[in-house]
Structure 1
Amino acid sequence: MQAEVPSTPKAMTILAIEDDPGDAELLRRRLAQIPGFQFQFRHARDTRGAKAELSHTDVDIAFLDYHLGASNGLDLLEQLRSSGETRPVVVLTGNADVYTAASMTRAGADDYLAKSDLHPEALLRAIKNANERQLVREHSKRSEVIVERLADENVELSLANRLDALTGLLSRAAWTEIITQEHERSSRYSRTYSVLLIDVDYFKSLNDIRGHAAGDECLNRLAKCFLEVCRSMDAVGRHGGEEFVVLLPETDSDGALAMGERIRKAVWDLGIARSDSPDASPVTVSIGVASSPADQWEDVVTRADESLYVAKALGRNLVWGERATKATARAQGPHERITVVVVDDDAGDAELLRRQLEELRNLSFDYIHCDNAKTALTALKSRQEALVFLDYRLGETSGVDTLGELRAAGVLGPVIAVTGNADEYIVADLMRAGADDYIAKGDVGPDVLRRAIRNAASQYSRRSTEARNRQLVAELQSAKRSLEGKNRRLTELYKTAHQFVDNVSHEFRTPLTVIKEFSSILRDGLAGSVSTEQGEYLDIVLNRVDDLSTMVDDMLDISKLEAGVLGVARRNCQMQDVIQNVRTTLERKAAAAKVNLTIGEAPTLPDVYCDPEKIARVLINLTVNAIKFCEEGGNVSIEAARPDDGPFVRVRVTDNGRGIAPENVEAIFERFKQLEGNLRSSTKGFGLGLSIAKELVHLNFGDITVESRLGEGSTFAFTVPVADPATVLPICLRRLSTPAASLLSAQAGAAVDARVLDALDGFLQHQLRRSDLLFRTAPDSWLIVAAAGESELGCMIARIERARADTNRNRPSGPLPLLRIEIKGTWRGFQQSRELIKRFECERRGDAGAGI
């Protein structure tokens, strides 16, 4: 039926954006063949010319070449759409597969046409579709502006409720919501999380001395510091006032203590002054640590608060948690012997300390006394893990300076500072220099020493673990950077190779289409009479064009197979219909090669379940291959049958050519593998045809075999399953590479006509992966068998719905109806081959309850 010519008050202005004048002239002639269609034709050969024409000419519709010389026509289309250009654009391509069509639609094309399909009805249909989509696009743009404005307002409201107004951290309510979810998750899966409760030391005095503005600035800088130190998965919130709280998912006590220490050091390094005095000490934080498990998350926060109280009681600027005490207690075993180095210029004080140490139970130690820093460094050179008691005043030398020398020399063991004045600022200087704890000389006693040794040992254990972790992290990061560099290089090379194949294939296809079109015009006598000899020459040209087109198809298919993006649209069909669709092409090939082709009839065959286009490619590859290897006057036959009424239909392609040697039978299915010396045709391919045929047969759950004898010929046979779910499902499940399979049902949500339902069926086919199965059980109902587990199904359903919404935005013939998709169950392991099939049959019969 001829398409209706659009009624317009004036002739339409058509712009052809095409670098090939021959293709542009072909388009003009095809438009001129439309009865009653008046138009003005403009031609631009490149991007600059196209933009000039669109700026200065009242263009009604543009036809854009997919590949525009050295550039990509879609790049120009994207530039036009992003600049606000709304006039309809139809893309012309030599490769009209679904993936190319998807890229055109995403770029903003209103329709597309294959260059081999430029007949009047197709052109009229494209013009009408493009005009309708232009209207849809303009309405959609106005709607999107309104939706985006509402979405922005919702986001602003949501953020205002979830973020602290001063620091931008999570509010207490938002943090509570997150830890509630994390507690439930950790309890369900037996995982561990930790909580850090952080308090700013002496914050009230900072507020009183420097004012509230300085206090607010301090809190903001601390909040930024916490976010920089913590991981992206951690939740940092403001607990109230000068208290902050951090949730550390998947983190045990040791990891939480290490994170707390990193935060403490980072705050110290900020150097926020407590007062305006040049000698003012910096702002510090005390951190309490607690970890799950617990009955309620509130219990974990309570324990963190208790640890925070201990950290403040021990002098502030500390990280404290339950794990530190337990680890130290285990380290101080009754049979452990340690080396104690006392660095004190007062021998009396050193002796007093030794006697107090002897009173400690379960402590065995070797005692060394050093009266200056030099002898201490010599003694500790071979005793890196010794416990050091360091006097704060060491003659004329400060203990802080001595401690700095020890740490700089690589002494990483625990150090306890001994001072006669437990002033807060002195203690801060010692801790900043690297002391693990401190004691006042007036307080030296067994309990104080035991507590100090325990704390120092805990800090040393933590410091050693951190050093080792830093080393391991550095090694891992180095290895990661190396691997990432190699992966980037491989990815770039892989993309370059695929882009090269796609571009070369398209560049081949475009001139081939033109050659075939004009050769056909000449052959059919449309440009004048043709003699018999000229007709034979033109048949040869057409035959060679078909050969080259097959080679281009092979390159595209192998590229998509390697990338895993070759789509499969399986459905019920008749094998005889598949054979008849390629019959004319095969007969012309055989006639050109002077080979006899016989196609058997099998009208009683049942329907098969396959992608008919892919099976047609297999049939073409096998038959053309057989013709090439036959001598003139040779015979090639195609037969389809159902052996023993079994689950498969088998198609056999037999020739009486030279045959294949036994050692080459398996090799012929390898990529780029060709047999030497047997090829009579002057057109030599890439050695991809049989490899692709094997892949396509496997995608349709069949097998391919070959039988051959040298000097007698070969028979290639492939199978396709009968269109019976009871047959197809077990075959599919045996070939699944995933441990789980799921059954879903889909139904159109509104009553629509058959044409829309057929479009919905095609939409579903292209949304499923090639390992999934789709069965149409009624005009508006489908069953889906997905190679996916429970966790993947939600994403799969959401992806289908997003794709439906995207399709409806660019579908002039009306939107696809809503799909109601329901998950029927997931089966694993041995259950797949029985329970899933049983449930499938029940759903197909409408007896869902019997399969439960």
Structure 2
Amino acid sequence: MSLSELSQLQSAIKILLIEDAETDCVAFTRYLRADPDRRYDLLTAENLNTGMELWRSQSPDVVLLDLHLPDGNGLEFLEFMRTESAGQLTAKVPVIVLSGQGNEQVAVRAMKLGAMDYLVKGDITSASLRKSVEAIIEYHALVKQLDRSQQQKELLSEIALRIRQSLDLPNILQAAVDGLRQLLDCDRAILYEFQPDWSGFVSVESVRLAELSLLHQEIVDPCLASRWHESYLHGRTSFVSDREDPSLKPCYAKMLASFQIRANLVTPILQDQHLWGLLIAHECHHPRTWDTSEIQLVKQLATQVSIAIQQATAYAQLQTELKERREAEAQLQRLNQDLENRVAQRTADLTHYIQEVEDLYNNAPCGYHSLDPQGRYVRVNETELQWLGYSREEMLGKSVAEFLTEESRQAFAQNFQVFLEQGWVKNLEYEMVCKDGSLLPVLLSATSVKDEMGRLLHNRATMIDIRDRKQFEQHLQETNLELARISRLKDEFLANMSHELRTPLTAILGMSDVLQEGIYGELNGKQSQYIKVIHESGKHLLSLINDILDLAKIESGTLELQIASVCVQNLCQHSLSFVKQIAQKKLVELNTIIPADVGDIEVDELRIRQALINLLSNAVKFTPEGGKVTLAVERDRTQRRIEFSVTDTGIGIAAEHLPKLFQSFMQIDSSLNRQYGGTGLGLALIRRIVELHGGEVAVESVLGEGSCFRITLPDDL
């Protein structure tokens, strides 16, 4: 019996005394009020009709009933009470029959009509009367507890069904906290969600009154150690019955008071050995004793929430589904064990409770079965039968191998031997053959059930339907193949088009060179100007085509690096020589910061020089007259890396545009494209060249102040 029921036993007990003899009324009243541990409120009636009216209007806890009354026999009152109590959990009525003389036949009839005790007036003592009353009160407290437990179980099933019917995570979490508050009839239910750094906040709530809301607030316990969450990782449920309990730490009680918490019940929600969050119930205005059945119900609800979260995120986190299923199985096993223990302690009046557990097993959203040591079915639930299309008679006694494909049958034989040796298996994937010939992919986990001698009796196995996951994996594989094919076609198209365009461009550049040299005669001023434009445009277009071709080669994996030892000083000077003339025309100052002992590096000189020239050209292009461009080299032999940086005092880049810089054909501002020119290929090509060398490119920039691009390469010398 819970503490709440024991507390009820200590409160005043309302007793209806139906007795026409005044001396007996006085005696029985004196007997009861002599009890030092109880307080009794007595209602008296001298006849049967008055007693019936008081029964209806006052709802007493116990009735002391004289059989011989002026207006009828007390057995008529028992008939009346039996009719009024129809449909309740028990046929017993809280009546102690009082008789002036012992009559076995009358006593038997009274007990058949539901009376709970039969006392002969002459034998009644203060102790015997109080003992009989206390037995009735305790019995009905137990009945009420069982009735409430039954209602909570049914409500939990409804809540679990609502949760499991949705794949929308916000709806799942809201249904969970609404269900928790409804299940416990508490003031507030919240879901506290953890972040990776163990900070967190109230992400979902359900409150009785709006002023109790804690939504989006962070609840921090100043008393807890830095690793306080580890106990929850092991499934620990904690609770406080009253924050004014002197055994609580003062700082913890103060924290509870700051959030209007008088009593709380905290249950972890776990995901793949990860503490996802906490499911919490609050009583805000009065203490509350959380009994074992309520704690178990909240644990079961937390398990349902955990499973639902896993289903809702299965497409993004398929690996978490396996852990949640194992947790669901473990919770169900603990529930079954708890139900078995409770059934063993109850009387035959609770047999209907066993049926509820059986219904839960049969109608669970997962398949459940048990195999004997030879791998034959000894039990199977309705869910698994419906999935496979067989009747229970067709499966019981048959080996599970008879329902597997040939490939799965071989795997099962090996895995079953492992199970017999270690006593458990998990996350085994098989294909089962349904009665109609279709295949059902499933995921199986099992634990062993042994007798007191350690001999295997049977196993408990959970079967999960993974058809949706298989279809998603197939679709994902097909999508990846299609994307790879499209990417390959794009690379082939760019490579072919680049080769096709280079041939006529080479001819155009060659002919324009010949015409400028005057081999076929002198040109006038206009002609020379036009030929120069043709030549410069052709060179620009050829550079663009070469960039496209290089990108295509890199994307298709056909570009081969020519790695050799290269002098860093020469590499930098050669790169600078390509931009000196343009810098001089714009009055841009070129500087270098290169240590004299920088030495050599192992790279493809042509490609790295191409990357440096591109960065230097961009720096000069986007730096106004009078600005400065600096090429610096820093070598870290301890970290085995070398860094090239190009810094300018140019126009800079806005922070929101930085993520677009290294994308192919991407210009961060169309107005810049018109003013400075460019295709958006240069930086994309730089990044791919550097990544082929095993390095990386980074950029820092302030709008209006300038930019710094860094190339970091591994240094193996």
Structure having greater relative contact order (Cα 8 Å, sep ≥ 6): 1
Structure possessing the higher radius of gyration over alpha carbons = 2
Shorter-chain TM-score category? Answer: 0.3 to 0.5
TM-score, structure 2 as length reference = 0.32
